Structure 1
Amino acid sequence: MIPHFGENYRFHWHDLGDIELGRPNLGQQLPVAVYRLAQYTMRETLAQHFGAERAGDLLREAGWIAGREFCLNVLDRDQPLNPFIAQLQAKLKDLGIGVLRVEQADLDRLVFTLTVSEDLDCSGLPVTGTTVCDYDEGFIAGLFHAFTGRSFSAREVDCWATGDRTCRFEVAPDPHPHPAAK
C-alpha cells in the first residue's frame, strides 16, 4: 500500500521555478543518466539511513506528490477518463517519461493494468530480479487520486530490472486509504 497524506505537503508546482528564465541556454532538456544519477543516489542515501524498504516507501510518497501536482498543473481533469488517459499518454511521451499503454481496464471498478515502455526510471538497467519503480508507483497513484478524488494504489508487477522489457503496474482504488487522503 502506498501511504497517502492528502494535500498536507509543502511542495507546489510553482516551486519548480521559471526554467525558461533560469536556463536560457540549456533549456529543459537533460540526459536520462543525470536524472537517474539524482534518483538512484537519493535512493541509496535513504536506504543507508533508513533501510531499503523505507527508502522505497519514501520514493513512493515523493512520486505521489509529483503525480498529484503533475495532474493538477499539466493535465485537464475536467474530461472523461478515456480522453484524460489519452492526454496523459501524450504528455508522458512528449516529456520523455515513458510510453504509457492501458493493457486492461475495468471502468466500473476503476481497476487497470498499465504498462510503461522506455521508462525513465529503469529501462536499460541491469537485471537484479527486483522491481525498482517505487517512484512511478507513487506517481501513478497520485495521478489517479488527483483525477478521481479517490485513494489509489499502484503496484509494479513487471520491471526492466526483473528481466521484462516494459514496466507493468496494477492500479486500483485503495481499500485501506490513509484518513488524510479522503
Structure 2
Amino acid sequence: MYDLSDLVVERQKLGNVTDIKIFRVLRFMPYSIIGDGANGILYKNGKDLGRNLGLNGASEAVKFMHENRIGELEILQEDPYHLRVDECLSCAGLPESGKPLCHFEGGLLAGIIESVSGRAVDFREVKCWGLGNGTCEFKEFVR
C-alpha cells in the first residue's frame, strides 16, 4: 500500500521537492474540514506507513527521517522509548498553539518502532513547537 521504492515522480523540471509552506497548508487542511478528528487520521496514516517501510533498526530509522527531510531523529531511551525530533517537518518554527501538532510524525515513529521491535507501540508527543518547545519529543505510551 505504501511502497515508496516504486514511486515514480514525473516532474523533470521541478523534481520531487516542494516548499515547506505548501506542505504545511496541505498538512493542516484536514483540521478545517473535520477538526481535531484529523489527529487520529494523521496518526494512523503515519503508523501504517511506518510499519510498511521495511526498516531494519534504529540507524535506518534515523537515516530515513533525515534523508526524507522529516526531521533529525535521536533515540533518547529504549524500553520504554523516548525519541526526539529536531527540525520537525510539521511544526519547526511555528508559533505556540497550546497543543502538540505532530500526530503524523508520532504515528510514523510508532509504526517504524513496531516493525523493528516486533511489539505494539504507541507514542504521545510531550514536547512540540505547538507547546512552546523548540523540538519535538515522543514518549512511548505504556498501557
Q: TM-score, normalised by structure 2?
A: 0.89
- Between the aligned partners of 2:26 and 2:85, the Cα distance in structure 1 is 21
TM-superposed CA distance for 1:16, in Å, is 7.2
Q: Read off the aligned partner of 1:122 and give its amino acid letter.
A: C
Percent same amino acid among aligned pairs?
A: 27
Cα deviation, 1:57-95, whole Å, max 9, x if unaligned, reads 1111111112122x32xx3x2xxxxxx212221221122
TM-superposed CA distance for 1:141, in Å, is 1.1
Q: Read off the aligned partner of 1:23 and give its amino acid letter.
A: R
Partner secondary structure for residue 44 of structure 2 = helix
Aligned structure 1 segments of 4 or more residues deviating by more than 4 angstroms: none
Could you tell me which residue of structure 2 aligns to residue 43 of structure 1?
31
Cα deviation, 1:79-138, whole Å, max 9, x if unaligned, reads xxxxx2122212211221101112223xxxx31111001000101111111111111121
Q: TM-score, normalised by structure 1?
A: 0.71
Structure 2 gap segments, 5+ residues each: none
Structure 1 gap segments, 5+ residues each: 1-10, 78-83, 176-182
Pairing 1:113–2:82 present: yes
Could you tell me which residue of structure 2 aligns to residue 90 of structure 1?
63
Pairing 1:99–2:72 present: yes
TM-aligned CA distance change 1:14 to 1:95, over 3 Å = closer
Partner secondary structure for residue 114 of structure 2 = helix
CA RMSD for the aligned pairs? 1.9
Could you tell me which residue of structure 1 aligns to residue 3 of structure 2?
13
TM-aligned CA distance change 1:28 to 1:157, over 3 Å = same
Could you tell me which residue of structure 2 aligns to residue 34 of structure 1?
22
- Between the aligned partners of 1:121 and 1:159, the Cα distance in structure 2 is 10
Structure 1 or 2, whichever has the larger Rg, is: 1
Partner secondary structure for residue 100 of structure 1 = strand
Could you tell me which residue of structure 2 aligns to residue 158 of structure 1?
127
The answer to whether the 8 A contact 1:62-1:135 is kept is: yes
TM-superposed CA distance for 1:42, in Å, is 2.1
Q: Read off the aligned partner of 2:104 and give its amino acid letter.
A: Y
Q: Read off the aligned partner of 2:47 and give its amino acid letter.
A: W
